[in-house]
Chain A
Amino acid sequence: MPRVFKKPVYRLAGDRGLLVDFGEGIDPGVNEKVRAMARALEKQRLNGVMEMIPTYRSILFFYDPSLTDPETLCNSIEIVENTLEKNENQPVTIVEIPVCYANEFGPDIENVQKAHGLTLEEIIHLHSKPEYLIYMVGFTPGFAFLGGLDERLHTPRLATPRMLVPEGSVGIANNQTGMYPIASPGGWQIIGRTPLKLFAPHRTNPFIYKAGDKIKFKPISKPEYDLIAQQENR
């Protein structure tokens, strides 16, 4: 069943927001359409658009009503959609994220082991093998919503969320896996930690990945973790 809409669906998000849905649900095809549209629209530099926020299946246009309106935006979007080249082969960037699994960094890895009857090695293998698509980034700075977690690792959230999950923690919640770029409260099952700085506000580019990239986790040892952490000044 095609999940990409024939025509985009437009929804009003107040007097400064226009939400445009390009398809249904969480689906790589729908998400690719969103990203292709976002890329093409970015080149157009639409007048009056302060921000364009692509997500799983839609783009939110944050506009200045003194410069544009939804009707003008819809027209521009339709023109771009009609000229969008099919099967545009966009090279995919794969971002490698070193992770030190278990040890003091993965306090919940035993929960995942018990839930599925897997060994530590099996969990590390299953988690670090796939290339995870970044569907969108949001919620906290640099928090990536990843698709493609192996079903054998699906594990419910902690019954009681932690007050503070340390920066760099890598965790699992149901069918999702993700990383915590900043220390924040959270209920994910934490299985490891990356020594990389995922959010460095003072760098010219504060982030090392973006929506549409793929994430590949690479298991590292504690000494390797310490070395990279030192280089990253963490």
Chain B
Amino acid sequence: MMNAIKILAPGGFTTVQDKGRFGYQQMGIPVCGVMDTFASACANILVGNDENRAVLEITVMGPSLEILTQMDIALTGARMGITLNDKPVEQWRSIRVNPGDVVTISQVQEGCRAYLAFSGGLTVPRIMDSCSTYVGGRIGGFMGRPLKKEDILETHDAEILSRPRALPDRYIPQYPSNAVIRAIPGPQEDYFDSGLTALFERAYMVTAKADRMGYRLQGTAIPIKRGMPASIVSEPSMPGSIQIPPDEQPIILLVEQTVGGYAKIATVISTDLSKVAQTTPGDTIQFEKIDLKMAHHLYHEEKNKILKIKALCLK
């Protein structure tokens, strides 16, 4: 382990995340982890890491950091603009950095969350089998909180790349401000009738209340069917559960949520959670209904895509 970076400016909301914390939801610990699993996996692969290593999740406004050791870094996800010693460098490719270098990531231009990976991956104490920051519970990541100025983070020892890596353009996702998000009806689709039609036919706007706990949307009201209770017996939620509270406006529950007490009309498929993560207040979401078979097909396709990218980078 070695000191790798010093935070000169923390950015808007920058946290250490890995793939998440599993096995503790029954004790009220949410999964947490990166919101955009595709972009973070790519960032890791581009610097030669296993795709689940701890990275920085950067939200809307980027940090500025001083490099303390020679390594490779890669920035993926939202288009933000990145400079190395004031010279612009590109995203979605490895960047060799040396002690004394200053890396500055600017404001978001497209998307919402960017991922910065480092050779070897960030080292933080593992809490309940994960490096992910759970801000609400003040645990995990770097001291259980978003990064601050003067924080010094370590990385695992790792070899630097023998030659630079870049992700082919065809794999770089677009983050349009009108996202199409696929979802499977349920678990409580029987609580709704006209609401199901509204959900899948109308567009919903992302409101300012959108964070790692959930995205509150605004649009055509989704009423509970006549004769059904307004709430359900509290039950666990999944990242992607679309819950309908009494104000009849949908909330997509995300990675820092464990329990919901309202009926869930549909669930965003895991493959499209990365797309949700890249929407920002004012964007619109159009939900598209798909079935489980199709969703599992897309899940395998996404997994294969990551394997292909890995193979391409190793070639």
Q: Which residue of B lies closest to A140 (CB)?
A: B28
Contact of A19 (CB < 8 Å), options: B185, B235, B270: B235
Q: Which residue of B lies closest to A205 (CB)?
A: B27
Question: Which residues of B from 151 to 187 have beta carbons under 8 Å from A?
Answer: 183-187
Give the size of the chain B interface in residues (CB under 8 angstroms). Answer: 41
Rounded to whole angstroms, the CA-CA distance of A16 and B183 in the bound complex is 12
Contacts of B139 in A (CB 8 A): 141, 201
Contacts of B268 in A (CB 8 A): 14
A96 beta carbon closer than 8 Å to chain B: no
Contacts of A50 in B (CB 8 A): 22-23
A15 beta carbon closer than 8 Å to chain B: yes
A155 beta carbon closer than 8 Å to chain B: no
Rounded to whole angstroms, the CA-CA distance of A140 and B138 in the bound complex is 11
Question: Which residues of A from 32 to 56 have beta carbons under 8 Å from B?
Answer: 50-56
- Give B contacts to A, CB under 8 Å: 22-23, 25-29, 127-128, 136-139, 183-188, 233-236, 238, 240-241, 258-259, 264, 267-271, 292, 295-296, 298-300, 303
Contacts of B303 in A (CB 8 A): 66
Question: Which residues of A from 45 to 73 have beta carbons under 8 Å from B?
Answer: 50-58, 60, 62, 65-66, 69-70
Contacts of B267 in A (CB 8 A): 12-15, 17
A229 beta carbon closer than 8 Å to chain B: no
Shortest 4 CB-CB contacts between residues of A and residues of B: A14-B267, A11-B187, A15-B295, A138-B259
Beyond A138-B28, A138-B234, whether A15 also contacts B23 by CB under 8 A is no
Beyond A55-B236, A57-B233, A60-B236, whether A201 also contacts B128 by CB under 8 A is yes
A14 x B240 contact (CB < 8 A):
yes
A114 beta carbon closer than 8 Å to chain B: no
Contacts of A26 in B (CB 8 A): 233
Interface of A is mostly: loop
A14 x B188 contact (CB < 8 A):
no
Q: Which residue of B lies closest to A184 (CB)?
A: B136
Beyond A55-B236, A58-B235, A201-B128, whether A142 also contacts B184 by CB under 8 A is no
Task: Give the segment of A74-82, A186-194, A206-214 that binds chain B.
Answer: A206-214
Q: Which residue of B lies closest to A145 (CB)?
A: B234
Beyond A12-B267, A60-B238, whether A141 also contacts B137 by CB under 8 A is yes
A15 x B22 contact (CB < 8 A):
no
B236 x A12 contact (CB < 8 A):
no
B127 x A202 contact (CB < 8 A):
yes
Contact of A51 (CB < 8 Å), options: B25, B183, B259, B269: B25
Rounded to whole angstroms, the CA-CA distance of A50 and B270 in the bound complex is 14
A182 beta carbon closer than 8 Å to chain B: yes
Contacts of A14 in B (CB 8 A): 183-184, 238, 240-241, 267-270, 295
Best-surrounded residue of B187, B238, B269 (most CB of chain A within 10 A): B187
Beyond A13-B186, A14-B238, A66-B303, whether A201 also contacts B127 by CB under 8 A is yes
A12 x B187 contact (CB < 8 A):
yes
Rounded to whole angstroms, the CA-CA distance of A58 and B292 in the bound complex is 21
